[in-house]
Structure 1
C-alpha cells in the first residue's frame, strides 16, 4: 500500500507518540496508568490514514504497553490474567481504530451531502430568479 506524504507524516508522528508513551509508561511505573493516552496515535492513524494503519497502531500500542509493563516489574497472579489484560487493552485499541474510521466515513458523507445540497440550492435559486424575472402569465419554456 502506497501512502501520500501527509499519510507518511501522520504515521511517523503516531510512531513517535508511541515511543514517547512507551518511555513515559516505563519511567512512571506500572502503578501510574497512561493507558488512555495510547488511544491518541491509534485514533489519529485510523482517522487520517485508514483502518489498516489504525489496527497496526493498535497492535503496536499493545506490544509497547506489554513491554513497558514487563520492564517495570509488573507481576500478575497468573498467566491468564496477563493475557486477559493484554487482550482487553488490545480490544479497546481496536474499537478505537474502527470507531475513528466510521466517524471519518460519516464526516465525509456529510460533507458530500452538504456540497450536493449547496448545488441544489444554487440551482433552485437560479430557477427562482428566472421565474421572478418573467412577468405574470409568461409561459415557461
Structure 2
C-alpha cells in the first residue's frame, strides 16, 4: 500500500505537492502523512506545527490569485519569446518593426513584470504578421 504524503516547505509550511515517501527523499523537503483527499487537493492545505491544516478562504483566494498571475505571466513570456521571431525577421528584411508589434510586446512585458494580480489585463491579441 502506498501511503500519500504532502511535501512542504519546512520553513514556511507551504505545501508544494504530494507524493510517496521515496519522492520526498528526492525533493529534500518536509513530508507529512495525509489522507487521500488531502493529497488530491494538496493546494488547499498548509502545514502548521506539524499538522495538516486547511487554508482559510482568504488564503485560498490569495493562492488562486498568485496561480492566475503565474499562469498569465508564463503565457506572456511564451508570446514574447515567439514575437522575437517577428522582430528578427523585420530586422533581417531591413524593415522597421511596426508600432502595433511594439505595443504588443510592451503589453506582454508589462504582464511579465507585474507583481500583483490586481487589475491585470488579459493577454493581448497577437497582431497580424507584418507585410513585405
- Quickly name the TM-score band, shorter chain normalised: 0.3 to 0.5
Q: Normalized per residue, which structure has more strand?
A: 2
What's the TM-score once normalised by structure 2's chain length? 0.39
Which has the greater radius of gyration?
1
Q: TM-score, normalising length from structure 1? A: 0.37
The answer to which structure has the higher helix fraction is 1
Structure ranking higher on relative contact order (CA contacts 8 Å, 6+ apart) = 1
